[in-house]
Structure 1
Amino acid sequence: MIPKISKIEAQKRKGRYNIYLDEKYEFPVSEDVLIKYQLFKGMEIDETLKTELINADTVSKLYARALNYLAHQLRTVAEVREKLSELTDDVNRIDEVVAKLGEQRLLNDQNYADSYVRTIVNEGQKGPGAIRRHLQTKKVANSMIEQAINQYFSTNDQVANGTKVAKQQLKRMKRESTRRSLDKTRQFLYQRGFDSEVIEIIMQAVAPVAIEKNDEAIIMPVAEKYWRKYRAQEPYQRRQKTKQALYRKGFQIDDIETALNQLAVES
């Protein structure tokens, strides 16, 4: 004999119901499933329908969790899958929810990539390399990443943003030599994800600004520090070690010689 629904009991959790078959509790369902399958007292539930109802309830719970997860910010398909895997290891049900969200345009990796690129462009602090690294960690397809970058992050935008970053970095290195500050700025741009071709364009734009710094004015305090450090050395060794230290700091030979000659006179 096919079991029949003997009771439909509301749970304390809103929108959730317990289903009893022949006076015995069998499984819970959501209100969505209750309505969709038009469940009622006395309705016959065979094993096939029972399995279908349980699967439908799993999908309903997963869908509700996904909606809540998506309510706070855009997510990628991989992120939603990972979140839903906390509730179930039923890949088929997860696939069903992901497909439903995609059909409703609530989940779309291309939209996520486009939105992220526009945000980075507006912030003006990172290059396309940083974008690629972030989106790849979110398991967005490379084709979608490149499409978003090509559409929303033109070379002109990259140069403009990179130039702003470079100028900010140069201001932080007022005590550095011209060569060293430019080298560090170039490396900083690379770390921020700007491509090598764009970096060279940026450096050509900011180098004249950096070169306006007077290395002659900033070299003496640095030279004096090393001159004192090597004071126990013989005069020739003292001069050579100080020269090498200043050269490693990025100062030009002419400026180094001028500073050393002045220190030798003052000694």
Structure 2
Amino acid sequence: MKINKIVRNKIFLSNEEIMDINLDIKTKYDLKEDMDIESLYDEISYEASLAKALYYLSLRDRTEEELRIKLGGKFRNASSIDRAVKKVREMGYINDHDYAFSYIKNSRFGEKRAEFELMKRGISKKIISEVLALGEGVSDYDKLKKAIKKVMHKTDKQIIQYLIRQGFELEDILYVLRHAKEER
């Protein structure tokens, strides 16, 4: 495998792969055009994946699955991606349990919608169940009251449909809605 071309922070390889690298990697391995990197490919790919993973995590928190997908869009070497994800997990930069806890605690959604959103992000059902069992954060009733205040001008049917889409239980919606109307 040879380097066909180097343009800024990208190397174009003979296997049609385009790999993002940083200046440190370019300098460390003294990368040049027409250089054979067969023996260095795994290590270069790992270091580039790790650097890109750290960059992505500096932008926002991500789940392990989100990070794998993001890196998979940039790099072909799956073993290097796995090593990079494992390394950032060991460094403490990703933790799906903490991510789920934070998401549920700060979410404006009801339990069902929050669970759906977390599963969409690659969090396992087991982790979600553990976090929901802790029951920390803003209660569903408080979230529900806040959501109802935003849509009180609508009809009851529209309010209920909206709140169900937000992941709240029907019996909770009816209970809070009944009390909200009594307070008016």
TM-score (norm 2): 0.75
Partner of 1:189: 163
DSSP 3-state at the match of 1:25 = coil
Q: Indicate the residue corresponding to 1:158 in structure 2.
A: 140
| Distance verdict in 2 for CA 1:164–1:83, change over 3 Å | closer
Question: Which protein is bigger by CA-based radius of gyration?
Answer: 1
Gaps of 5+ in 2: 1-7, 10-21
Structure 1 letter corresponding to 2:166: R
Identify the residue that residue 112 of structure 2 maps to in structure 1: 129
Q: Which amino acid aligns with 1:14?
A: L
Could you list the runs of 5+ residues in structure 1 that have no partner in the other structure?
1-10, 28-49, 174-180, 211-267
Secondary structure of the 1:26 match is: coil
* Counterpart secondary structure, 2:142: helix
In the TM superposition, what whole-angstrom CA distance separates every residue of 1:98-147 from its partner, at most 9, and x where no partner exists? 11111111111111111111221xxxx42112212211211111121222
Residue 19 of structure 1 and its aligned partner are, at CA, apart by: 4.8
User: Higher helix fraction: Structure 1 or Structure 2?
Assistant: 1
Aligned residues: 161
Name the % identity: 21
Instruction: Report the 3-state secondary structure (helix = DSSP H, G, I; strand = E; otherwise coil) of the residue aligned with 1:208.
Output: helix
Note if 1:144 corresponds to 2:144: no
Distance in 1 of aligned mates of 2:45 and 2:131: 35
Aligned to 2:23: 14
Aligned to 2:62: 75
CA distance in structure 2 between the partners assigned to 1:71 and 1:19 by the alignment: 27
Trace 1:175-214 onto structure 2 (pairs within 5 A).
181-209=155-183
Greater relative contact order structure (CA < 8 Å, 6+ sep): 2
Which TM-score applies when normalising by structure 1? 0.54
Q: 1:76 touches 1:108 (CA, 8 Å); kept in 2?
A: yes
Query: Alignment RMSD, CA only?
Result: 2.6
Q: Measure, in 1, the Cα distance between the counterparts of 2:162 and 2:102.
A: 25
Distance in 2, Cα, partners of 1:86 & 1:168: 39
SS in structure 2 of the partner of residue 82 of structure 1: helix
CA distance in 1, matches of 2:23, 2:85: 24
Q: Secondary structure at the match of 1:88?
A: coil
